[in-house]
Amino acid sequence: MTRPTSTRLADGRELIYFDDAGSGRRAHTVVDHRPLDPRSDAGTGELRFDALTGDWVAVAAHRQTRTHLPPAEACPLCPTSGTNLSEIPEADYDVVVFENRFPSLGPALGPAPVGPAPGDPGWGTAGRAFGRCEVVAFTPEHTGSFAALSAGRARTVIDAWAHRTAALGALPGIRQVFPFENRGQEIGVTLHHPHGQIYAYSYLPPRSAVMARAARAFHDAHDGARTLAGHILAGESESGERMVLQGEHFSAYVPFAAHMPLEVHLVPHRHVPDLAALHDAERDELAHLYLELLRKVDNLYDTPTPYIAAWHQAPLDAANRAAGRLHLQLTSPRRAADKLKFLAGSEAAMGAFINDTRPEQVAARLREVPAAPKADNLEVSHP
């Protein structure tokens, strides 16, 4: 397990350094001297209840002023230099996690607002958007991608995800912890520097709630002896038609009913609820298989592929946790070298997805494409 070192930024936000195994780094002692006003819980946004759908919507208007695609010399995720006082005080680092300066949720913590009573549509129901949002910087290098990391660095990131999953899940009011990466301007990223995020929700997000209900129904129907994710994985393994990668502890496949033109699920063979529950051998293999999968996705075309890497973890309540299994959902809107799928009428308005590609053909292409990192996408990382 990677050793974390926690400190505080000038405004009071937490920052945690995660050093690569065997890096021999000295203690992280540099202080953030930026003239920042102390952060206040009063800046926490609002949760509003959508009476038509039953969803909670976070209203975070303060995010309108967040940093947007700054030049390299002003990047907030690069190490601090004489000309750039960034979010990371040290002159070098391996992996860093810190509280987002412009959070969608939090920084105040507590339970989500109480939903409407039966028979009450709930129109006008609102409360504070409790939770926590963190940024994960994968590397000190401004250019590159996760796919260009070394296996050792990827393992450090996995350890950081696992550490934060456990720590955030223990905070008051948190019901779901969600690590993810948005990669590419086509997805809507606001920083070029290779990074991801972690959201800790005080409510169960709609997608998690839908998956939790399906997983719990299957689990209960089999008296707790089987899980839905395990059943699907067994079917995909037996078929083989949509399998992309198979290891000792993890397998990756294009789902039978893929929503997006490019979609792959990476699933552990053992039933584990989240990243924190993975043992060392599983984390070691995950570092290699995840890199292999990302490199295959990047090598489908001549230019880097935009994607969303969503790490679905079991909700924290006991009823859903027993049935839910960790899995990665990697999706991209890219349906051809020069074409993107946009979520328009049917998808955005109705939630009815129409896939432009056949999952079996996508899986066959991914199996054939090499997993070598792109020469123009390499970056330096500590061994």
pLDDT, position 1: 62
Longest dimension (CA), the chain: 62
Q: How far apart are the first and last CA of the chain?
A: 16
The CATH classification number of 4-202 equals: 3.30.428.10
Question: How many whole angstroms separate alpha carbon 133 and alpha carbon 161?
Answer: 13
Beta sheet of 176-183, edge-to-edge order: 4-8, 14-18, 95-99, 131-137, 195-201, 176-183, 307-312, 327-332, 262-268, 250-253, 243-246
Q: 4-202 and 208-377 share one CATH topology?
A: yes
Give how far the C-alpha of residue 316 lies from the chain's centroid of Cα atoms, to the nearest Å.
Answer: 17
Give how far the C-alpha of residue 71 lies from the chain's centroid of Cα atoms, to the nearest Å.
Answer: 24
Question: Beta strands of the chain (E only): which ranges?
Answer: 4-8, 14-18, 46-50, 55-59, 95-99, 126-128, 131-137, 176-183, 195-201, 243-246, 250-253, 262-268, 307-312, 327-332, 334-336, 339-340
Question: How many whole angstroms separate alpha carbon 254 and alpha carbon 359?
Answer: 6
What are the boundaries of each domain within the chain? 4-202, 208-377
Pick the catalytic residue: 28, 163, 193, 195? 195
Question: How many whole angstroms separate alpha carbon 307 and alpha carbon 362?
Answer: 15
259 catalytic, yes or no?
no
Beta sheet of 126-128, edge-to-edge order: 55-59, 46-50, 126-128
CB 262 within 8 A of CB 334: yes
Q: How many CB atoms lie within 10 A of CB 241?
A: 13
Rg of the chain's alpha carbons, rounded to an integer? 21
pLDDT, position 218: 98
The pLDDT tens digits along the chain (383 residues) read 677 999 999 999 999 999 999 888 878 999 999 999 999 998 899 999 999 999 999 999 888 888 888 999 999 999 999 999 999 999 999 999 999 999 999 999 999 999 999 999 999 999 999 999 999 999 999 999 999 999 999 999 999 999 999 999 999 999 999 999 999 999 989 899 999 999 999 999 999 999 999 999 999 999 999 999 999 999 999 999 999 999 999 999 999 999 999 999 999 999 999 999 999 999 999 999 999 999 999 999 999 999 999 999 999 999 899 999 999 999 999 999 999 999 999 999 999 999 999 999 999 999 999 998 876 454 433 32
C-beta contacts of 40-44 below 8 A and 24+ residues apart: 41/107, 41/108, 43/107, 44/105, 44/106, 44/107, 44/108, 44/128, 44/129, 44/130
- The CATH class of the 208-377 domain is alpha beta
Say what angle helices 151-169 and 280-298 make with each other, to 10 degrees: 120
Look up the pTM and report it: 0.95
Question: How many whole angstroms separate alpha carbon 357 and alpha carbon 361?
Answer: 8
